[in-house]
Amino acid sequence: MQIETVGIFCGSSTGSNNIYREETIKLADYLAQNGKSLVYGGGTAGLMGVLAGRMLEKGCRVTGVIPEMIQTKVGHLPLTETIVTPDMHSRKRKMYDISDCFIALPGGIGTIEEISEAFTWQQLGYHSKAVSLYNINNFFKYFDSFLEAAEMAGFIKNVHRSRLIIESEPARLLEKLESYDGTTIDKWS
Ligand code: AMP
């Protein structure tokens, strides 16, 4: 699938190791070199701000989708476009609709919730877009172990789990996102 707009979920903190910031900038630069646009959570805090700031600097189109309540509380970058939604649910729906694929960078519970929902919707066939983890510093090791445990215990099918793309190198990540075949594998069969 040709990807123009990448939806990225990431921490509202930068993490305790500078590697998270550095590798976020590396991904931002690679996406910019390849002419991609960004859709993200709209704030300036943490890796979100690092990512959006860098992509704006590189001349990319950056759209922030932010709920009214958060918008009044956080700092703002001069984005290409800011979409304000009434609540968190409509924010996520909007982000899912206008992105061609999804990437999670390291983050906290907000990031895990958002990427898990995108992955759940893929599994259920609500969308056929690629879902991925940018595995900086092997951050997602324990999340992947959880998915493995859930598969071993019979709660996730391998055909669904194996659709989650996990990569730590921007070029390989984008290549896998662009070659994702988009077929829905029926959860109920
Ligand atoms: P967390 O991973 O818990 O830091 O939460 C990050 C995710 O929650 C982001 O992907 C955003 O969608 C949302 N979020 C949390 N804090 C903010 C904020 N200050 N501004 C915009 N979105 C936020």
Q: What is the CATH number of domain 5-138+164-178?
A: 3.40.50.450
What percentage of the chain reaches a pLDDT higher than 70?
Answer: 99
Closest by CA to 115, choosing from 129, 125, 70, is 129
Is the pLDDT score of 151 beyond 70? yes
> Per residue in 23-73, pLDDT tens?
999 999 999 999 999 999 999 999 999 999 999 999 999 999 999 999 888
Pseudo-torsion of CA 31, 29, 81, 173, nearest 10°?
30
CA of residue 101 to ligand 1 center, whole Å = 18
- The DSSP output letter for 185 is -
Sheet with 165-167, edge to edge strand ranges: 81-85, 62-67, 37-40, 5-9, 101-104, 130-134, 165-167
Spatial separation of the C-alpha atoms in residues 39 and 175, rounded to whole Å: 19
Ranges of each domain in the chain? 5-138+164-178
Ligand 1: residue whose CA is nearest its atom 15: 12
Mean pLDDT over all residues of the chain?
95
User: Does any ligand 1 atom lie closer than 6 A to the CB of residue 73?
Assistant: no
Q: Helix, strand, or coil here: 56?
A: helix
1: which 2 tokens? 């699938």
Question: How far from the centroid of its chain's Cα atoms is residue 44's Cα?
Answer: 16
Are 137 and 19 in contact by the 8 Å Cβ rule? The answer is yes
Whether 189 has a pLDDT exceeding 70, the answer reads no
Instruction: Pick the atom of ligand 1 nearest to 111's CA.
Output: 2
- Amino acid sitting at position 174: L
> How confident is the model over 71-106, as pLDDT tens digits?
888 878 899 999 999 999 999 999 999 999 999 999
* Residue with the larger pLDDT of the pair 189 and 24: 24
Q: Is 117 in the pocket of ligand 1 (CB under 6 A)?
A: no
Task: Report how far residue 170's alpha carbon sits from residue 5's, in angstroms, rounded to the nearest whole number.
Answer: 15
**Residue 177 in 3-state DSSP?**
helix
Please answer whether residues 168 and 176 qualify as being in contact, where contact means their C-beta atoms are separated by less than 8 angstroms: no
Q: Residue 128 pLDDT more than 80?
A: yes
Q: Does 188 have pLDDT greater than 90?
A: no
How far does Cα 18 stand from its chain's mean position? 20
**Whole-structure pTM value:** 0.95
User: How high is the pLDDT of residue 76?
Assistant: 81
Say if ligand 1 is within 6 A of residue 111 CB.
Answer: yes
